[in-house]
């Protein structure tokens, strides 16, 4: 049944994209929005091709993706390790949960001025802000996943005299993996957003700075080319993580 549905879903998704592009071109053709602010799809595609082949878009793309990936990796590693420790300890959860809930709502962009004051306008500052903002989805999802382990499995671990590390690795992590991967997916999106915001505010080389400079200079085609490229980065990164999720959770599939 799923094999029959997937081609229909793919065709529907392609049709929506084509319809969006047609509507975009129609809005520009009818001059509902000035071309100064909204370029044609063809002009955007041409700016994207020239930027990748002849300009600096390829180099800026690599820098943004690297910044996003490093920040996401730090957030993922720290969130899983700390979340596993907190999730397997009711005492730690009771002590730390109020503090975590107090810090979690803080927007990472609001913390950025504080990070700039301590670290200056440096790549390390942007990386730290990305890691800070992206760690919370992983951390809270990991805590929830480990805290939801079946109590009988905990009793089995005690009977077998498993160490805490052994229990986390062999029993806790497989059971918490669906929650952890869900947190990783949210964290990846946050990492991309913060990488762009960090580049804009800290004037670091990357797609964020390129998009901001294009907007200030009213180069709408280059602006939209950068936005399309960022959307492609988000699409590809999410697709890769979805493939990893299907591989890691294949034991859940019927």
Residue 3 has what pLDDT?
Answer: 41
Hey, what CATH topology would domain 39-252 get? MetI-like fold (1.10.3720)
Residue 2 has what pLDDT?
Answer: 43
Residue with tokens 């999410």: 238
Local structure of 107: helix, strand or coil: coil
Residue 106 has what pLDDT?
Answer: 72
Helices (H), 32-150: 41-53, 57-87, 90-103, 108-119, 123-147
Residue 252 has what pLDDT?
Answer: 62
Indicate the pTM of the whole model: 0.82
For 149, list phi and psi in degrees, rounded to 5.
-65, 140
Dihedral of the alpha carbons of 108, 114, 119, 125, in degrees to the nearest 10: 10
Dihedral of the alpha carbons of 227, 229, 235, 238, in degrees to the nearest 10: -100
Residue 254 has what pLDDT?
Answer: 52
Which residues are CB-neighbours of 218 under 8 A, at least 6 positions away? 36, 37
| Angle at which helices 173-202 and 108-119 cross, to 10° | 60
Domain residue ranges in the chain: 1-33, 39-252
pLDDT averages per 10-residue partition of the chain, 254 residues: 58 82 84 82 87 85 92 93 86 81 73 78 84 90 85 78 79 83 90 89 84 87 89 88 80 59
Taking the CA of residue 172 as centre, how many other CA atoms within 13 Å lie in the half-sphere pointing to its CB?
Answer: 27
Where is 157: in which H helix or E strand?
Answer: helix 151-159
């Amino acid at each position: 049944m799923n094999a029959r549905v997937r081609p229909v879903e793919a065709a529907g998704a392609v049709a929506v994209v084509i319809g969006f592009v047609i509507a975009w071109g129609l809005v520009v053709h009818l001059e509902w929005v000035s071309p100064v602010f909204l370029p044609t799809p063809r002009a955007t595609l041409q700016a994207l091709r020239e930027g990748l082949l002849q300009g600096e878009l390829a180099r800026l793309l690599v820098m943004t993706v690297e910044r996003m990936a490093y920040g996401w990796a730090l957030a993922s590693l720290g969130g899983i390790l700390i979340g596993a420790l907190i999730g397997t300890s009711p005492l730690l959860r009771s002590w730390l949960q109020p503090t975590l809930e107090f810090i979690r709502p803080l927007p990472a962009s609001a913390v950025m001025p504080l990070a700039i004051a301590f670290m200056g306008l440096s790549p390390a500052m942007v990386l730290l802000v990305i890691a800070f903002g992206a760690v919370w989805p992983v951390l809270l999802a990991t805590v929830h996943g480990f805290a939801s382990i079946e109590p009988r499995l905990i009793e089995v671990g005690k009977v077998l005299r498993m160490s805490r590390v052994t229990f986390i690795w062999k029993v806790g992590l497989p059971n918490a993996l669906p929650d952890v991967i869900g947190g990783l997916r949210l964290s990846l999106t946050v990492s991309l957003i913060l990488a762009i915001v960090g580049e804009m505010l800290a004037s670091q080389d990357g797609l964020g700075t390129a998009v901001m400079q294009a907007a200030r200079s009213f180069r709408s085609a280059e602006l939209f080319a950068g936005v399309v490229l960022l959307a492609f980065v988000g699409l590809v990164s999410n697709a890769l993580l979805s493939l990893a999720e299907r591989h890691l959770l294949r034991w859940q599939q019927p």
